[in-house]
Structure 1
Amino acid sequence: MQKPNTMALIKELRERTDAPMVDCKKALESSDWNVEKAIAWLQENGKAKAAKKAGRIAAEGLVSAVADEKGAVIFEVNSETDFVAQNNQFVELVNKIGKILLVNDFTTNEQALALKDENGKTIEELTVDATATIGEKIAFRRVKKVSLSDNQSVGAYVHTNGRVASLVLVEGKDAETARNVSMHVAAMNPEYALVSQVSEQELTKLTSEIKSEIENDPKNASKPEKIKEMMVKGRVEKELAKNVLELQEFVMDSAFKVSEYLKSKKLALIDAVRFEVGEGITKEESDFAAEVAAQVASATKK
C-alpha cells in the first residue's frame, strides 16, 4: 500500500478548515488519512472544545447588513480576538449567515439560531463548527430584520473595517438615498431615529432645565414671553439634535437636516438601527506586565 503524502494532506485539511496544524495532523491520523473523515472528526471533536470555550468572552468579530427587494438584516457575529475576525473562514461564515438570515423569517435570536443552510446545518451548529476549527469561541450575538411594504425602501451600510453597520428604513422608493442616510447613522451614532422615540420623561426634563436656564438669565429679563418660548424651543431642538437622527445636520450636506434631505428626495424617515462590534459587552481587562511578572516569578521558583 502506498504511503500517503502526509504533509500534503495536512496542508489540504488546514486550507479547507483553518484548524491548527497539530489538530489537522491528529484528525488525519485518527481518520486513516482520509481528508473528508478528518473534517468530520474535527467537527465532532470540536463540539467538546466548543463547550469548554462557551464561558469565554467573545467581544471582537464583525457586524454586517445585507438587503434585497423584500427587506434587510443587520447582525453581529463575535470572536475572541480581532485577528480571528479577519480570518477568511470567519468572514465566509459571516457572509453565509447573512444569506441564511435574509431569505428566512424569524423574530428572535433563538429562532435565527435554528435556521438552516442548504446542507441542513443550523446557524448555531455553524458557529460551533467554526469554534472547533478556528480555535476561538465564535458566537452569533444579535440580529434585527426589516421587512418592506410596497412603498418602502431600506438602505444598508457596512463600514470597510466591518466593525460598524447600519440600516435606515424610509417611506418611498429610493434605496440609494436611504443608504446615504445609513452612512450618516454609522458615522454619527444617533441614539434615536425620531423625536417621537424620545421618552416623555426625558423630553420634559430637558425642556424644564433649558426653560429654567433662560428664565434665570438676567439678559432675558426684559424679553417677551413669546421670544423666551422660541428660545426654549430652539435650545431643546439643538440639544435633541445631538442624539436624534432626523434633527441632525446631514454629514454629506450640512445645509440640510436629515429629515429635510429625505424630504427633498420625497422620502420620510421611519426608523434606523446601528450595530457596532462588542458594544455593551464587558471585556476582560488584562494587566500584561503583571502577567509577565507572575510568569517570571513562577519560573524562578522552579
Structure 2
Amino acid sequence: MQRLLHSSAPLWASLDKAMLGKLRKKTGYTFSNCKKALEVCGNDIAKAEEWLHEQAKALGWAKANKLEGRATAQGLVGVASDSSCVAMVEVNCETDFVARNKTFRSLVERVAAACLNHGKTLPQDNLTKSFLSADQLKTVPCGKEGGPLADHVALAIGSVGENLSLRRCALLQAPPRSAVHLSGYTHPAENSLGVGPVLCGRYGALVAFKATLDSAPKTQILGRQLCQHIVGMCPERIGDPEKDSPNPDTDSESVLIFQEFLLDVNQTVGNVLEEHDASILDFVRFECGEAC
C-alpha cells in the first residue's frame, strides 16, 4: 500500500516497537503508516487499526473517483455455495495482470461469499433464480468485515491502482432439506485464497437438479459434471423431449438435453440424466466480459 501520510515529527522513542510490529503484521500497512497511526492514536492499537482502515478507504475512494469510467474488460467469475444456495458473481478489472493479482482475487472471493450470505437471507420456499445488478451489488453487506461491498472495491482500487467494478450476480436458492441439489463450478477451477469455499475462474456455471443417487459424493460429482458441460457447451435452454427436436447438426445444438455430453460424446446430456434418474431444473452460465 502506498504511504498514506508523511510524519515530520518522529516520536520513535515513545512508541512501543513490539506494538508497532504487531500492528504492521495485523494490517499489512507500511511501518511508516503504522508508526503515524500509533502517534495519532496515542499508542492505542485498536484505534490505530481503525484509523489506518479509514485512511485507506478514503484513499481508495479518491482513486476510484479518479479512475471511474476507465474500461474494465478483464476480471474473474467467483462461485460460492452451500446446500441451500449458490451464488455466482463477476468482478471486472482493466488488465489480465490484475486479474491474477492476489488482492483482486481475494476481493472476488469476498464478493461471492457476501452474495451467498445475502442469498441465504432471502425467502426459500421454492427453487428461485434471481439476479443482482451492479448497483445492487454495491450495497450488499460484507459479513464480519462490515461495510457495503462498494467500500471493499474502493479499498482494492487503492491497492491495485486500476479501475475495478462489480458487474453482476446470479443466485439459485432451494428450500433446506428439499430434493433439489445445487452445484457451482468455475473454469479453470482453483482453490480459495482464504475467504471461504469460493472458486474463481474465467467461466462459471450454476445448476439446480434432482437426482436419486445413492450417495452424496455421487450427487456432487454429477452436479460438477453438469456444470462443466454447461461451461464448455454454452446451452441456451434446458429443452423438453416431448416438445423439442434435436438439431440435425449436432455441432450447432443449443438445447441442453440434446447436446453431446462434454465428458462422453457417445451420450447426450439427456441420456446421462436418464441413466442417473435425474432432471435439470435450472442453470446459469457466466463468461467473464461477455455481452449481456
Normalised to the residue count of structure 2, the TM-score between the two structures is 0.70
The one-letter code sitting in structure 2 at the alignment partner of 1:58 is T
1:275 aligns with 2:286: yes
Partner of 1:93: 107
Report the 3-state secondary structure (helix = DSSP H, G, I; strand = E; otherwise coil) of the residue aligned with 2:59: helix
How far has the Cα of 1:68 moved from its partner?
0.8
What residue number does 2:28 align with?
A: 16
Q: Distance in 2 between matches of 1:80 and 1:56?
A: 8
For 1:177 and 1:33, locate their aligned partners in 2 and report how far apart those are by CA, in whole Å. 58
Q: Does 1:181 align with 2:226?
A: yes
Residue 133 of structure 1 and its aligned partner are, at CA, apart by: 2.0
Structure with the largest fraction of strand? 2
1:2 aligned residue (5, 8, 12) = 12
Mark the runs of 5 or more structure 2 residues left unpaired by the alignment.
1-10, 41-47, 123-129, 190-200, 213-218
Residues 1:33 and 1:136: Cα distance change in structure 2 (over 3 Å):
farther
Aligned to 1:217: none
The 5 Å alignment of 1:216-231 reads: none
Match of 1:251 among 262, 268, 271: 262
SS of the equivalent of 1:69 reads coil
Task: Specify the SS of the correspondent of 1:118.
Answer: helix
- Describe how 1:1-302 pairs up with structure 2 within 5 A: 1-2=11-12, 12=24, 16=28, 31=37, 36=49, 37-105=51-119, 107=130, 108-109=132-133, 110-116=135-141, 117-149=143-175, 150-160=178-188, 162-172=201-211, 174-190=219-235, 192-195=236-239, 236-238=247-249, 242-280=253-291
Q: Is the 8 A contact 1:237 1:247 kept in 2?
A: no
Quote the residue 2:192 is aligned against: none
| Deviations, residues 14-58 of structure 1 (Å, cap 9, x unaligned) | x826xxxxxx69856875777733443222122111111111111
- Change beyond 3 A, Cα 1:263–1:74: same
**Cα pair 1:27 1:41 within 8 Å, conserved:** no
User: How far apart, in 2, do the equivalents of 1:188 and 1:238 lie?
Assistant: 14
Identity percentage of aligned residues: 25
TM-score (norm 1): 0.67
* Aligned amino acid, residue 278 of structure 1: G
Give 1:250 shift.
0.6
Distance 2:53 2:84 in 1: 36
Task: State the Cα distance separating 1:112 from its structure 2 match.
Answer: 3.5
SS in 1 for 2:12: coil
Tell me how far apart the structure 2 counterparts of residues 127 and 249 of structure 1 sit (CA, whole Å). Answer: 40
Equivalent residue, structure 2, for 1:215:
none
**Partners of 2:171 and 2:60 in 1: CA distance:** 31
Higher helix share: 1
3-state secondary structure, aligned to 2:145? coil
Residues 183-240 of structure 1 show CA distances to partners (whole Å, capped at 9, x for unaligned) of 11112222x13236xxx9xx9xxxxxxxxxxxxxxxxxxxxxxxxxxxxx66x45469
Change (3 A) 1:2 1:240: closer
Q: Distance in 2 between matches of 1:121 and 1:39?
A: 12
Distance 1:93 1:125 in 2: 11
Q: Does the C-alpha gap of structure 1 residues 142 and 120 become closer, same or farther in structure 2, counting only changes over 3 Å?
A: same
Gaps of 5+ in 1: 18-23, 204-232, 282-302
Deviates more, 1:164-173 or 1:27-36: 27-36
